[in-house]
Chain A
Amino acid sequence: MSVLKVRNLKKCYGNVRAVDGVSFTVEERQIVALLGPNGAGKTTTIEIIEGLRKKDEGEIFYFGRKVEFIDREIKRMLGVQLQKSAFLDNLTVKETLELFAGLYGISLKASQLGELVEMFMLQEKMNSRVKTLSGGQMQRLALAVALVNDPKVVFLDEPTTGLDPQARRHVWQIVRKLVEEGKTVLLTTHYMEEAEELADYVLIMDHGKIIAEGTVDNLIKMLNMDSYLEFVVEKPAVFLERMPGARMLNGERITVPTKKVEDDVQKIFALAKNEGLSVENLVVRRPNLEDVFLSLTGRHLRD
């Protein structure tokens, strides 16, 4: 059964179409990633579904039931981590978790509280006031709050932004564990590694629309490329002109799609020799979601 179904969702701010006819379905126990650059409309989409923003048009179905607005019954089943989290400044981490449990009509047992703070590595900060937390700790508290009501569906809006790589991997583990426990997760991210690592299904968004969707493998197969070559040269213009499909990556590396790795590597070195240039840091890698986005929009995810 589908947990969430969204049909032709639209939202405008003045003349700007933030969400422009978005439709998708989230199945039970799935991790669905809404991937796109900043300003693509991911947050607006997820906030409409959570009940934070009103839709202009479209239909939302939760567990097969069409909902015009997100009522209390639905809210009880949702766990939400907002992109920018803020809580009452002068409460401690423990009190904040108790507050939110109370708002869901739940009384947290000491063992449940302990489990939550341990899960998000907040044990040492249990009695610290919210206003003293660092960005990463705040993000982890927001994630803990999202799970305080043992939700069926969890919305995570850029859950690992601001976290260090170790904490990011830790969050990924938790997300996988949530699905093992029977929960469904819809997350937004602009990290393609995060989507690749976690998502069963990826929705790629740009300019308020879903421009591609599918499993990570299927999306990559759409590129019809075996590999990508990446390297650094002093004068990239020559390579961008003469190598088909060549693009700049992060303003310093050249990336070239290839089906014949050996031939194209020889071609790169030959071109470099002719121009009197040296090729550095040449790597051969598999295609990824960044390449998918690049091929669909001509832009990078973090542009």
Chain B
Amino acid sequence: MSELLTLVKLLFLDSARNKLETFFSILFPVVFLIIFGFVFGSTGESARTVGIVGADVQVVKELESVGKWRFQLFPDCEELMAAVQNGKLSIGLSMNGSSVELFYNERNTNVLGEVKMLQIVVKNLLEEKLNNARSYFTVSKMEHTPTGKEISTFEHILTGVIAISVLSNGMFSMITVFGNYRKKGALRRIILTPVKPVKIVSAVAFVRILMSFLSLFITLFLARLFFSASIPFNWFRLISTLVFSTLGMMALGLFLTAIFKQPQTASSVASLLNTIMMFFAGVYFPVHWMPSYVRWLAYVLPVKYVADLVRVSAGYQLLESYFFWGINVLFLICGLAMLTVAANLFLKSE
């Protein structure tokens, strides 16, 4: 037992001090989280800045509470028009008593829908404020989302970041341990000690799972700190997902290490796979955003299933229990099988 503990402690230290590994498994996903978080915000959409002239503070506050726009005050109409004309702003709004004018570039088709929406919102707001108008009918919309709770773009990215970090953590670390360290000869010296190969691979796997949890907590902490994001995870499901999918991604790394004798080649292939999976597995963007002819690709990329499992654990996606646990068991089997192969391939006499 003490052998295992010593191995876990020191492999963890070695791993945590490995800048490249830490970058790919922790910092890289966090960087994506922060970039996308600031672009989309925790509500999922980016708020457009609209220039405004002649509105009182109360009206601006009311408009901002819609959450769709930020407003920048302008001293007069000329300046506002100039800002729209030279492209600094896409939409300008001028209020003068009961008259409201909207400025926009009519060639910019991207804003047409938003202009229409702004027009309706402003009209309703002003009618309500100025005329004290009240609706006779209230129409409620009850959305039925068969795929679980509605997920915002930010939440989609956040859960994707967790999946990508599991992938990087499992895949790249195996190339470091069983590729680089084997090539350099560090594993040969360990083989000569009385410790059993199964203990070595168990320690390696345990450290990877530990790193996955560390990465998860950092990601969730930053998401909460910067974007006030709070995902109501089913922790039992999430913990199981993290453990089993880390093992599954380790299997992928071990597979690459086994087929490419040069760790540098394995590492390059892993980087390529990592990039493909980031953009084509529905991790950062939903699969239906992709052109239909490349959607099939997502279904053959294992990280898609990691992301699905994380989203199911967060309640954003519904999946039959047997399917959820089936994928987890498959990851577990792949991980254990490849670790057994690794113990026999890399930790035995030559």
Contacts and interface: CB of A to CB of B under 8 A. Distances in A.
B3 A90 contact: no
Interface in A71-108: 72-73, 75-76, 78, 80, 82, 84-91, 95, 98-105, 107
Contacts of B193: 75, 100, 103-104, 149
Contact of B194 (A53, A72, A82, A84): A72
Contacts of A80: 189, 192
Contact of A91 (B10, B190, B194): B10
Interface of A is mostly: loop
Interface residues of B, number: 27
A102 B6 contact: yes
Band of interface residues on A:
35 or more
A105 B2 contact: yes
A182 interface: no
B2 A107 contact: yes
Contacts of A50: 192
B239 to A, nearest CB: 28
Given A88-B181, A95-B13, A76 B194 contact: yes
B10 A88 contact: yes
Given A82-B189, A99-B10, A53 B350 contact: yes
Contacts of A87: 186, 189
A129 interface: yes
A102 B2 contact: yes
B141 interface: no
A266 B347 CA distance: 63
A142 B186 CA distance: 11
Interface in B264-311: none
B349 A86 contact: no
A51 interface: yes
Interface in B311-350: 349-350
A86 B18 CA distance: 16
Given A86-B181, A86-B184, A107-B2, A51 B11 contact: no
B185 A103 contact: no
B190 to A, nearest CB: 7
Contacts of A101: 6
12 contacts: A52-B349, A54-B350, A78-B192, A85-B185, A87-B186, A90-B14, A91-B10, A100-B189, A101-B6, A102-B5, A103-B194, A104-B194
Interface of A: 50-54, 69-70, 72-73, 75-76, 78, 80, 82, 84-91, 95, 98-105, 107, 129, 142, 145, 149
User: Which 9 pairs from chain A and chain B are nearest by CB?
Assistant: A102-B6, A90-B17, A103-B193, A72-B194, A86-B184, A86-B185, A86-B186, A75-B194, A88-B14
Interface of B: 2-3, 5-7, 10-11, 13-15, 17-18, 181, 184-186, 188-196, 349-350
